[in-house]
Structures are given as structure tokens and as C-alpha cells.
């Protein structure tokens, strides 16, 4: 087909399919062998398709119970849609809650399990090192006496005895 014949393409198809020619195309076909051949080709293809189509359609025809299957599937899908969504979502929600709770519990448990010994260790260490701020005030001469056992003849209270001379 020449470039000049492009404009007749649609009309050629139309002519082949409907069997009727427009005046312009009829005139062009008289002078253009290419378009005449093209029209013949298209007509032949159409005829071939026309004979094949029934077979194609027949072969692709659904099985006898296809309609029943489709209807049953549609009904099941409709019923399932009606009944399932909330159930599915509730299930999903419950599952999500359970998972979250479990995860939180595990995390907490792991955290406390890891934290308690540290806390206890720190507290114990603090206790061993801890001294009251007033400890310094408790240092008295008597402390030395309390640490040591008094020897025979010695007194706990090593208080100088006042004599009359000193008075
Ligand atoms: Zn032409």
C-alpha cells in the first residue's frame, strides 16, 4: 500500500466488513491495483475468520456446570464477605493485642531481669561504702576504749581523778 493510499485504509476495512463501497473508494479502486488487492485480502481474511469463529467460540464455550460453579463461587464470596470481615478483623485485632502484650511482657521481663541484679549490686555497693555524714561527729576518745579490751586494773572510763591538790 502506497503512502497516498493510507487514507483509504479505514474505508477499505469498512468495505470489506460491510460489503458496501463508498463512491470515493470505488473510484480509487478503479485506478489503484494495490488497494484492490488489499480489499481482496481483507475480504478473504474476513471470510476465513467468519468460518473459524464459530469453532473458536465453540471450543472456548464453558463447560455445562460452569455457570453453576460461577454462581456458587459468587454466592460464597458474597456470604464470606458479609460474615468474614469483622471476624477476620476481630481475630487480627485480638492477635495483634496478644502479640503486643507478649512482646511488652517479654521486654519488661528482660529489662527487669537485666536491671534487678544491677540495681541490687549498686545498692549493695552503696551500702558497703555508705557512711552517715554525722559519722565524723561520733569520733570520740571513748571509741578507742570500746575497740580494745580493758586490761586488768584499767578502767573503761579513763577519767583523770580529781585530787584535792588541784583544787
Ligand atoms: Zn490505493
pLDDT tens-digit readout, 64-123: 677 777 778 878 777 766 655 666 667 677 777 777 777 777 666 666 655 667 777 677
Quote the ligand 1 centre to 164 CA distance (angstroms): 158
Q: How many domains does the chain have?
A: 1
**Which cell numbers in the block locate residue 88?**
477476620
Instruction: Report CA(42)–ligand 1 centroid distance (Å).
Output: 14
In a domain, 37, yes or no: yes
Does 22 score more than 60 pLDDT? yes
Distance 32 CA to ligand 1 centre (A): 5
- What share of the chain in percent tops pLDDT 90? 14
Residue 1, domain member (yes or no): yes
Q: How many whole angstroms from 9 Cα to the centroid of ligand 1? A: 9
pTM of the model: 0.34
Q: Give the range of the structural domain holding residue 46, as residue numbers without chain letter.
A: 1-61
* Average pLDDT in the chain: 74
Ion ligand 1: residues, CB within 5 A, are 5, 32, 35
Per-residue pLDDT, 86: 62
For 157, residues 6+ apart whose C-beta sits below 8 A from its C-beta are 145
Domain membership of residue 118 (yes or no) is: no
The answer to whether residue 150 scores a pLDDT higher than 60 is: yes
Residue 29 pLDDT level (bands cut at 50, 70, 90): very high
* Distance between start and end Cα atoms, the chain: 151
Residue 146 lies in a domain: no
In a domain, 109, yes or no: no
CA distances (Å), origin 24, targets 3, 13, 15, 29, 53: 17, 14, 12, 9, 31
How many Å lie between the centroid of ligand 1 and the Cα of residue 48?
23
Task: Please indicate, yes or no, if residue 149 is contained in any of the structural domains.
Answer: no
Instruction: Assess if residue 84 is contained within a domain.
Output: no
**83 located within any domain:** no
Asked if residue 11 has pLDDT above 80, the reply is yes
The residues near 61 (Cβ < 8 Å, ≥ 6 apart) are none
Is residue 59 predicted with pLDDT exceeding 60?
yes
The three grid cell numbers given for residue 79, joined into one nine-digit string: 456470604
Amino acid at each position: 500500500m502506497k503512502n497516498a493510499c493510507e487514507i483509504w485504509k479505514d474505508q477499505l476495512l469498512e468495505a470489506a466488513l460491510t460489503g458496501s463501497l463508498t463512491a470515493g473508494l470505488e473510484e480509487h479502486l478503479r485506478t489503484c491495483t494495490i488497494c484492490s488487492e488489499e480489499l481482496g485480502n481483507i475480504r478473504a481474511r474476513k471470510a476465513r475468520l467468519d468460518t473459524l469463529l464459530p469453532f473458536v467460540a465453540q471450543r472456548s464455550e464453558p463447560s455445562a456446570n460452569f455457570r453453576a460453579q460461577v454462581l456458587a463461587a459468587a454466592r460464597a464470596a458474597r456470604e464470606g464477605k458479609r460474615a468474614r470481615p469483622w471476624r477476620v478483623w476481630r481475630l487480627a485485632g485480638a492477635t495483634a493485642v496478644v502479640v503486643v502484650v507478649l512482646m511488652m511482657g517479654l521486654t519488661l521481663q528482660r529489662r527487669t531481669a537485666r536491671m534487678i541484679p544491677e540495681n541490687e549490686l549498686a545498692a549493695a555497693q552503696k551500702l558497703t561504702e555508705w557512711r552517715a555524714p554525722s559519722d565524723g561527729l561520733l569520733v570520740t576518745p571513748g571509741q578507742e576504749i570500746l575497740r580494745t579490751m580493758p586490761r586488768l586494773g584499767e578502767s573503761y572510763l579513763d577519767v583523770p581523778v580529781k585530787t584535792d591538790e588541784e583544787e
